[in-house]
Amino acid sequence: MFMNILITGGTGFLGTILVKRLVQKQHQVYVLVRNQSKLEALYKHFNEQERQQIKVVEGDLLDENLGISSSVLAELAKKIDAIYHTAAYLSFDEEERQRVFDINLTGTKRVLELATSLDVDKFIHVSTAYTLGEQTIGEEKLHSTNRSFVNTYEESKCHAEHLVMSYQGQMNVMIMRPAIIIGDSFTGEADTTFGLYGILRTVKLLKKKVERKGEPKQNFRLLIEKDTVSNLVPVDFVINMLMLGLTYGEDGKIYHITNPNPPTNGEIFDAIRKGLDFPHVEIVSYSEANELTEEERKLNQPLEVFEQYLNRSITFKRENTKRLLKQANEADLSMDQEMLLRIIKGFDEQE
Ligand SMILES: NC(=O)c1ccc[n+]([C@@H]2O[C@H](COP(=O)([O-])OP(=O)(O)OC[C@H]3O[C@@H](n4cnc5c(N)ncnc54)[C@H](OP(=O)(O)O)[C@@H]3O)[C@@H](O)[C@H]2O)c1
């Protein structure tokens, strides 16, 4: 069914692919854009005809009323059927706490207010599976905000989820919680530096160094627990789930867009060594931190913010997600080593 759909974050990694899918499905897409060069990058994905299906709404989550002019608001009134709120600030830097909350919480409030003022039917909020904080079992329920979080980002997203649910009754609201999003399961395409891609870049830099300076005497060691699992989900699976949410999603429900059989870090590194064709990197337990050389210590520094993610296996319950897939008669994610390898090779080729 044709819909008018507004999306925030449409110029981001996930958002761009979502806009593509919505255009492909013949919807009219309204994209909140704050940055002209990002808009131009988005446009590059579409031909002239497809661009007709994209309307730009200039605005910023940091501004009152999102900075949308009253004439544009009047134009949009009663026109928008659904909103995907994907925009967020993905920073783990504690010094940026205020900005993270301003964008991820106050910004979400502004988008919710826009949705009520436009009389939108459905609000699909993209959160993260990691609003569970330091717990190791995640239910598809709101997590209390009174808990230990790994970082401000998680905390801001947890508060935003509560806010979204408080609008239930004014429109249909649902929360989609992806785990760690990686590239497309067929092409590996991924326009992001977040999560796994920080690690892939580190390994790639090492490879370049070895190419310049010759083979190392011993492998480079990264502090990552090999038996813990990392919940990686290919971006195309995330997009499928977001689309199913639009058709079948139930009001007030939370969906874990997670991998039912996540790989161990050992398996991920097997794929990285093979995919990047670089055998000189190995992962060792945090208990060996004191044995690292000075060079390895520096190498491990950028990974410190991920320590809580790389060091802990989390089980995500996904009954709601399974029901959504069943309703649509669609298969669940089944990511094997081959798919992982393809995604990592895709990153290598795209660099
Ligand atoms: N990537 C992951 O592994 C992952 C995992 C779980 C959940 N998520 C969630 O998925 C969503 C999308 O993440 P992503 O990886 O696609 O992030 P991303 O590539 O950084 O994209 C973020 C988007 O938000 C927009 N944005 C940020 N601040 C804004 C502001 N003040 N006003 C208007 N727009 C603003 C950005 O606009 P510009 O293009 O102008 O910068 C961009 O379009 C987020 O909600 C994130 O929390 C991501």
Residue nearest to ligand 1 atom 36, measured at CA: 9
Ligand 1 contacts CB of residue 262 (under 6 A): no
Average pLDDT of the chain, as a whole number: 96
> What three-state secondary structure class fits 141?
coil
Distance of CA 13 to the CA centre of its chain: 8
Atom of ligand 1 nearest to the CA of 9: 43
85-144 pLDDT, tens digit each: 999 999 999 999 999 999 999 999 999 999 999 999 999 999 999 999 999 999 999 999
Distance from C-alpha of 80 to C-alpha of 4, rounded to nearest angstrom: 5
Are 103 and 62 contacting, i.e. CB atoms less than 8 angstroms apart?
Answer: yes
- The architecture in CATH of the region 4-178 reads 3-Layer(aba) Sandwich (3.40)
Instruction: Kindly state the tokens that stand for 71.
Output: 């004439």
Give the pLDDT band (50/70/90) at residue 286. Answer: very high
Q: Record the pTM.
A: 0.97
- Does residue 351 surpass a pLDDT of 90? no
Question: Could you say which DSSP state residue 168 is in?
Answer: B
Atom of ligand 1 nearest to the CA of 85: 45
Distance from C-alpha of 180 to C-alpha of 202, rounded to nearest angstrom: 18
Give the pLDDT band (50/70/90) at residue 275. Answer: very high
181-231 pLDDT, tens digit each: 999 999 999 999 999 999 999 999 999 989 998 888 889 999 999 999 999
- Closest to 343 measured CA to CA, from 227, 229, 235, 241: 235
Ligand 1 contacts CB of residue 13 (under 6 A): yes
Distance from C-alpha of 208 to C-alpha of 349, rounded to nearest angstrom: 15
- Does residue 50 surpass a pLDDT of 80? yes
Task: Determine the residue type at 21.
Answer: R
Give the pLDDT band (50/70/90) at residue 350. Answer: confident
User: What are the DSSP calls for 102-154, one per residue?
Assistant: IIIIIHHHHHHHHHHHTT-SEEEEE--GGGGTT-SEE-SSPPPSSS--SSHHH
Instruction: Kindly state the tokens that stand for 174.
Output: 């649902």
Domain ranges of the chain: 4-178, 196-229+263-313+341-346
* Cα dihedral across residues 168, 174, 177, 182: positive or negative: negative
Taking each helix axis from N to C end, the angle separating 235-248 and 13-24, rounded to the nearest 10 degrees, works out to 50
